[in-house]
Amino acid sequence: MTMTETYLAEIPMGAPDAILGIAENFKKCTDPKKVNVCVGAYRDENGKPWILPSVREAEKIMLDDPNENKEYASISGDAAYVNEAIKFAYGQNADLDKLAAVQTLSGTGACRIGGHFLAKYAPVKKIYIPDPTWGNHIQIFEEAGLEVIRYRYYDRSTNGLNLDGMLEDIKAAPNGAILLLHACAHNPTGCDPTQEQWKVVSDLCKEKNLIVFFDSAYQGFASGDAEADAFALRMFVEQGHNVLLAQSFAKNFGLYGERCGTLSVLTSGAEEKERVLSQLKRIIRYVQDLGK
């Protein structure tokens, strides 16, 4: 046996992804009455993929634009796209001079780059994530170099938010730690704090000087109003928190395969923004190379 064969022979079989594994089994199933309730995606009455008319129209505009080309994007991505994406989240009047933002491979890439950035520069390398949360959060942040700790979030006995447990666990976190919050339409429970509860969480985060990392994959899904669903993020920004935002447009715009996302870091101003952006670009270059 050669050295190469020995090396490959020792690689164990990885566990299948819990969600995508079920989706694969769904494809193999031949029952005509099967229903896919696994991966959230727009479907027509026959279970076939459905593309939003607005997306179809945007694609036509792009195809007819003589200035569209296939050149490499910059390391930070398409600037026009990034600016519109962050205004969608932070508001049309957002101060772009304070937002160091980059294009990412959907929310997964945003979490990975943000986790790597925090593992390098956050004063406390601990990230507190809700229990339960999106399954990928744990491995993404662990691989990035952060210690992942769960905080109580959902009360299964009441099918509601466990606010007291959540606050107690956040209070026990060290000052300066990282707190992951779902901006809206919490995955997988769909249970979000009320606006008054968000304010209580915000006050505690401010008291603990926590770094607040929002993950926003469903803006517009929680209430049907994208502006209303941005409440928590915008309130935390107004309250002066240290904020990061991972954005995905896979679900709310049905752009699953395009892997459209952004990561943004709220800074104190233009000079700090450029320093942060320079480090995000360095991370992108060796963690997620947009040029490949």
By annotation, the residues acting in catalysis are: 134, 215, 251
| 3-state SS, one letter per residue, for the chain | CCHHHHHHHCCCCCCCCHHHHHHHHHHHCCCCCCCCCCCCCCECCCCCECCCHHHHHHHHHHHHCCCCCCCCCECCECHHHHHHHHHHHHCCCCCHHHEEEEEEEHHHHHHHHHHHHHHHHCCCCEEEEEECCCCHHHHHHHHHCCEEEEEECEECCCCEECHHHHHHHHHHCCCCCEEEEECCCCCCCCCCCCHHHHHHHHHHHHHHCCEEEEEECCCCCCCCCCCHHHHHHHHHHHCCCEEEEEEECCCCCCCCCCCEEEEEEECCCHHHHHHHHHHHHHHHHHHCCCCC
- The answer to whether 187 and 217 are in contact (CB under 8 A) is yes
Report the DSSP pairing between strands 154-155 and 242-248.
unpaired
- The answer to whether 99 and 267 are in contact (CB under 8 A) is yes
Burial class (CB in 10 A: 0-12, 13-18, 19+), 92: exposed
- The answer to whether 112 and 288 are in contact (CB under 8 A) is yes
